[in-house]
């Protein structure tokens, strides 16, 4: 959670949390880079902010309209699987800003997801939140190599018998949310049991299950000089964050990940607004982990018959991925509900990632319309048509980013609400097909 208005937790993409088995480590070089980023932020403030101070907020940045959503549905998410899900959300409970949500999952993913957000310890200044995920069954659609060179069908499934995650968060906000500091601390446990082909046939089995337990932390700064945090019409927004975690042991690389994002919004009069966003993510390694292929293969505990070429190729692929991760680190992945929406969750991974997007938002309605559909209650304050284009790449060598760019484009409907949520449905297409997403908010 980063305290972005209503934090806007996903209905669906939160299921992708089980794929987060990378370890964000620390080093002196990343601290130097972070210092440079903060210096640039200060310079940016000194040079540009005076001209933006006149940009008044259009409305109160802490919305308090009560809302709720209770919705059973069938899910089918590329990279995650299919099944049934019940979503429950209560927003701005009891004349407060507090939101609570819960998801019950069955099918390829089984378990519970709970969230608590916008708990104001100091009103409109210090905000707490928390996220819990407890899954007893899940699967990851992983590709046979990092980077941008794999094909649409070059994937297999990794089956998990445990995905536990707990993350409390804190946001310190000032000046009508124009300046925010945010931090979170996460604890995660993952158990991997089997590897399956795309048809669900067993390829290999971990014996015993491959277990990972680790902690992670995030800290960041957001400068928002738009006319509205929830639904910007004009202005700019800058966000910088660092992800880190203690090194498990000498097998794993020691690194941190630095993320930078810049958004700009140009007004189109009564038609709407034109948004632009660019985001970079870079892993900075201070110490490599175990990169000997034989040692890593033994660590996985997978035994392949001498004549089983599929199993042997799968093990070799897993080892190569581990060698790359322990050599270069892993930055923000691309694919899923936020970045490169036409592709499966976590489709592209590498030590460096570059993402850029342009989005036209056309105003269809500005009417304030309360609604109560029994299972969904809120107040609509605006309906928009969004046309978007995305481009991105993730590679282990930063110089290769420009060589492997993929594109995603599509359209969506966006409903801005008085409760603070932005309900959104998107359909995106790319060179590997199309995908649809449903979310409670949008990261930029």
Express each pLDDT in 43-77 by its tens digit.
Answer: 555 555 555 555 799 999 999 999 999 988 888 77
How confident is the model over 93-114, as pLDDT tens digits?
999 999 999 999 999 899 999 9
The span from the CA of 410 to the CA of 390, in Å, is 9
Model-level pTM?
A: 0.86
* Token pair of 66 as six digits: 């009560």
CA dihedral 173, 17, 131, 75 (to 10 degrees): 110
* pLDDT of residue 400 exceeding 70: yes
The closest alpha carbon to 17, from 189, 256, 144, belongs to 189
Q: Residues 6 or more apart from 176 whose CB is under 8 A from it?
A: 57, 61
Which has the higher per-residue pLDDT, 51 or 290? 290
Most confident of 212-216, 409-413, 439-443: 409-413
pLDDT at residue number 55: 75
Q: How confident is the model at residue 13 (pLDDT cuts 50, 70, 90)?
A: very low
The span from the CA of 2 to the CA of 427, in Å, is 26
Q: Residues 6 or more apart from 146 whose CB is under 8 A from it?
A: 321, 324, 325, 349, 350, 394, 395, 396
pLDDT at residue number 246: 76
Average pLDDT, the chain: 87
The closest alpha carbon to 235, from 181, 177, 182, 276, belongs to 276
How confident is the model over 230-288, as pLDDT tens digits?
999 999 999 999 999 778 888 999 999 999 999 999 999 999 999 999 999 999 999 99
Which has the higher per-residue pLDDT, 400 or 20? 400
The closest alpha carbon to 182, from 191, 192, 174, belongs to 174
* pLDDT of residue 38 exceeding 70: no
pLDDT at residue number 36: 56
Q: How confident is the model at residue 301 (pLDDT cuts 50, 70, 90)?
A: confident
Mean pLDDT calculated for residue range 338-347: 92
CATH architecture of 13-67+119-439: Beta Barrel (2.40)
Q: How confident is the model at residue 429 (pLDDT cuts 50, 70, 90)?
A: very high
Mean pLDDT calculated for residue range 342-352: 95
Provide, rounded to the nearest whole percent, the portion of the chain with pLDDT above 70. Answer: 87
Q: For 230, which DSSP code? A: S
pLDDT at residue number 12: 37
The span from the CA of 366 to the CA of 440, in Å, is 19
The vertex-281 CA angle with 328 and 47, nearest 5°, equals 135
* pLDDT of residue 193 exceeding 90: yes
pLDDT at residue number 42: 52
Poorest-pLDDT segment among 18-27, 54-63, 300-309, 398-407: 18-27
* pLDDT of residue 21 exceeding 60: no
* pLDDT of residue 22 exceeding 70: no
The span from the CA of 354 to the CA of 327, in Å, is 20
């Amino acid at each position: 959670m980063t305290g972005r208005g209503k934090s806007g937790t996903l209905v669906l993409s939160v299921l992708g949390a089980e794929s987060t088995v990378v370890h964000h480590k620390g080093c002196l070089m990343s601290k130097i880079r972070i210092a440079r980023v903060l210096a640039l932020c200060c310079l940016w403030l000194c040079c540009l902010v005076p001209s933006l101070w006149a940009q008044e907020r259009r409305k109160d940045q802490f919305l308090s309209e009560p809302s709720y959503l209770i919705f059973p549905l069938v899910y089918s998410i590329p990279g995650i699987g299919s099944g049934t899900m019940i979503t429950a959300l209560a927003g701005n409970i009891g004349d407060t800003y507090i939101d609570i949500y819960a998801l019950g999952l069955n099918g390829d993913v089984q378990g519970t997801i709970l969230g608590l957000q916008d708990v104001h310890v100091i009103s409109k200044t210090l905000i707490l939140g928390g996220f819990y995920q407890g899954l007893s069954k899940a699967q990851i659609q992983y590709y046979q190599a990092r980077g941008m060179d794999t094909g649409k069908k070059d994937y297999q499934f990794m089956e998990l018998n445990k995905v536990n995650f707990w993350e409390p968060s804190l946001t310190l906000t000032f000046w009508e949310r124009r300046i925010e500091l945010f931090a979170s601390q996460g604890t995660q446990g993952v158990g991997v049991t089997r590897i399956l082909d795309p048809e669900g046939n067993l390829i290999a089995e971990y014996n015993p299950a491959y277990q990972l337990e680790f902690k992670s932390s995030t800290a960041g700064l957001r400068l928002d000089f738009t006319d509205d945090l929830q639904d910007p019409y004009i202005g700019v927004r800058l966000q910088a964050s660092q992800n880190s975690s203690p090194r498990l042991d000498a097998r794993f690389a020691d690194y941190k990940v630095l993320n930078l994002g810049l958004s700009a919004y140009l007004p189109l009069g009564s038609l709407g607004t034109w948004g632009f966003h660019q985001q970079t993510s870079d892993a900075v390694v201070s110490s490599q982990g175990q990169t000997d292929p034989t040692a890593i293969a033994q660590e996985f505990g997978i035994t392949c018959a001498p004549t089983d070429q599929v199993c042997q190729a799968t093990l070799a692929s897993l080892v190569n991925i581990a060698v790359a991760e322990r050599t270069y680190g892993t930055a923000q992945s691309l694919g899923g509900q936020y970045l490169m929406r036409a592709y499966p969750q976590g489709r592209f991974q590498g030590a460096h990632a570059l993402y850029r997007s342009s989005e036209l938002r056309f105003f269809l309605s500005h009417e304030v319309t309360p609604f109560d559909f029994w299972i969904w209650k809120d107040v609509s304050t605006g309906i928009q048509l969004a046309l978007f284009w995305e481009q991105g790449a993730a590679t282990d060598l930063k110089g290769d980013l420009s060589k492997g760019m993929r594109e995603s484009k599509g359209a969506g409907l966006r409903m801005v609400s008085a409760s603070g949520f932005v309900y959104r449905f998107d359909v995106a297409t790319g060179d590997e097909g199309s995908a649809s997403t449903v979310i409670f908010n949008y990261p930029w």
